[in-house]
């Protein structure tokens, strides 16, 4: 009885640690993983509630489903309150995403317990709770993050170490989670397919069909939502596939070689990547399905020229658990003949070493630059949101790096990007808030600089360094002047 209580307390402690880390980082560290999380999800949800916001081309062409923005819109609507403070509803979204990401930690605990007992559960759960990449991505509104939360649950619900087929109820939940995985992230079809085929190979085609039928429910529901929000059923699936693989749209983005993701992770892990891969491969002999899922995601994503680091996020939880199983096995062999107190000390030392390594890689290694992405623009947005008399927002030689979304600005005003000094005087009458790089001074003496912040860099800009972002104010109101005669250098849609 005492042992059972101790196990539950350990699980609660690890899950609580994971939640605190994700919520704390998500709220206190202001960074943007990629502009998609703003324009395609946060701002789209905000637009559903308030009627204005970013209107990206992905929704014009019907490439994105409204499922994820609809969830975000519900949270914004619930937590807007009388103050309409962006910090409140964005904080609520952060907590929501952090709670969903706990599925990875809970499943890591379960996978570790299956193969290594409670020592294995503690090691795998702690590694999932404290690994810097999971903490970095988990609180953010990205389709990869949402889909991974459900994919992990689907694979965890299947007992690969059991000869018995999944029950009807378990097969239903496995299928529903796989369907939600595909609904949120179409690129994970190969991973979902591997899970279904593996279960079918182990337990027969009838079980496979039950899971496939359950998976079809959320996929079909998303397709019918496309019919309501766009022109025809399954439009977001078709248009996303067409735009990504068949149209000329993808040619606007840089492409990378097959080994790009290996280079990225090797760069982030500062030489530990080979050991990490070997540990995951060795652990795969006891959990082969997890290794197959990693392989399916890695191969399918590497085959496409358009690559971003966040695309490979769904492999990290599975690879981490596999590596944890190898670490558990090694610790079991080393501590086999030690007394219980020394075994506990060895386990505590291992966890401390892993937590320190994760912290060092996040703060001191090459990954550290990621925590500053768009941080200056987000800091400026808080000042803008608190300013009551905003009638227009301008960006002078910033490009889109100043954009953090109407969801953060919370002002229904024109947003104007200016790239040429001869246009500035004409455009300046249309806004009283201005953002510029720290090495740029706007022409004339209309604006007074308020403050500058380090702004990191963004994936979308493909820059190694972005100058500090400065915020300027101009007294007085705005006139409709430059909006009808836009600067030809501005990005489309602005």
Please, which residues have CB within 8 angstroms of residue 143's CB and are 6 or more apart in sequence? 36, 41, 68, 184, 185
Q: Quick check: 186 pLDDT over 90?
A: yes
Reported confidence tier of residue 219, pLDDT bands at 50, 70, 90: very high
Whose structure tokens read 């963004």? 458
Q: Quick check: 269 pLDDT over 70?
A: yes
Burial of residue 79, with CB atoms counted within 10 A of its CB: 0-12 exposed, 13-18 middle, 19 or more buried: middle
What is the predicted pLDDT for the residue at 250? 57
Q: Identify the DSSP state of 398.
A: -
pLDDT tens-digit readout, 117-144: 999 999 999 999 999 999 999 999 999 9
Name the token pair of 41.
Answer: 């999800």
Q: Degrees (nearest 5) of the Cα angle 88, 93, 98?
A: 125
- Chain-centre distance of CA 475, in angstroms? 39
pLDDT tens-digit readout, 307-361: 889 999 999 999 999 999 999 999 988 888 888 888 889 999 999 999 999 999 9
Alpha-carbon gap, residue 371 to 34, rounded angstroms: 12
246 vs 432, more confident: 432
Name the token pair of 337.
Answer: 């003949």
pLDDT tens-digit readout, 19-70: 999 999 999 988 999 888 998 999 999 999 999 888 888 898 889 999 999 9
Q: Quick check: 254 pLDDT over 90?
A: no
Q: Quick check: 9 pLDDT over 80?
A: yes
449-475 mean pLDDT: 76
Beta bridge partners of 181: none
Reported confidence tier of residue 252, pLDDT bands at 50, 70, 90: low
pTM of the predicted protein model? 0.91
Compute the chain's Rg from CA coordinates.
Answer: 24
Name the token pair of 370.
Answer: 């990621």
């Amino acid at each position: 009885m005492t042992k059972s209580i101790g196990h539950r307390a350990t699980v609660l402690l690890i899950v609580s640690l994971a939640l605190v880390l994700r919520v704390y980082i998500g709220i206190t560290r202001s960074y943007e993983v990629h502009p998609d999380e703003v324009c395609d999800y946060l701002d789209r949800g905000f637009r559903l509630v308030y009627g204005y916001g970013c209107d990206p081309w992905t929704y014009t062409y019907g490439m994105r489903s409204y499922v994820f923005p609809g969830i975000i819109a519900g949270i914004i609507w619930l937590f807007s309150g009388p103050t309409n403070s962006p910090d409140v509803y964005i904080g609520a979204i952060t907590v929501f995403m952090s709670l969903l990401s706990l599925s990875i930690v809970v499943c890591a605990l379960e996978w570790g317990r299956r193969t290594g007992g409670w020592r294995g559960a503690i090691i795998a759960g702690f590694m999932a709770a404290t690994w810097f990449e999971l903490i970095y991505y988990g609180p953010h509104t990205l389709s990869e993050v949402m889909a991974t939360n459900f994919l992990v649950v689907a694979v965890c619900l299947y007992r690969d170490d059991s000869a018995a087929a999944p029950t009807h109820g378990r097969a239903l939940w496995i299928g529903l989670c796989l369907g939600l995985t595909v609904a949120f992230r179409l690129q994970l079809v190969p991973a979902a397919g591997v899970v279904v085929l593996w279960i079918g190979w182990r337990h027969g085609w009838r079980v496979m069909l039950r899971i496939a039928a359950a998976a079809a429910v959320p996929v079909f529901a998303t397709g019918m939502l496309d019919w309501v929000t766009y022109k025809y059923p399954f439009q977001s699936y078709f248009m996303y596939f067409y735009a990504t693989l068949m149209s000329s749209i993808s040619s606007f983005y840089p492409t990378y070689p097959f080994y790009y993701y290996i280079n990225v992770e090797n760069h982030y892990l500062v030489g530990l990547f080979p050991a990490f891969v070997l540990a995951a491969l060795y652990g795969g002999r006891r959990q082969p399905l997890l290794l197959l899922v990693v392989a399916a995601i890695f191969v399918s994503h590497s085959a496409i020229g358009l690559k971003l680091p966040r695309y490979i996020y769904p492999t990290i939880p599975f690879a981490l658990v596999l590596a944890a199983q190898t670490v558990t096995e090694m610790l079991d062999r080393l501590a086999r003949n030690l007394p219980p107190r020394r075994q506990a000390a060895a386990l505590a030392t291992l966890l401390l070493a892993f937590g320190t390594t994760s912290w060092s890689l996040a703060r001191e290694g090459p990954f550290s630059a990621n925590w500053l992405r768009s941080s200056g623009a987000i800091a400026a947005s808080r000042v803008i949101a608190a300013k009551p008399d905003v009638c227009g927002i301008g960006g002078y030689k910033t490009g889109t790096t100043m954009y953090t979304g109407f969801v953060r600005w919370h002002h229904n005003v024109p947003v104007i990007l200016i790239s040429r000094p001869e246009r500035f005087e004409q455009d300046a009458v249309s806004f009283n808030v201005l953002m510029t790089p720290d090495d740029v001074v706007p022409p004339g003496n209309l604006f007074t600089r308020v403050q500058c912040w380090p702004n990191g860099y963004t994936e979308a800009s493909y820059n190694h360094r972005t100058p500090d972002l400065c915020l300027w104010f101009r007294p007085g109101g705005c006139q409709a002047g430059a909006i009808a005669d836009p600067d030809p250098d501005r990005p489309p849609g602005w």
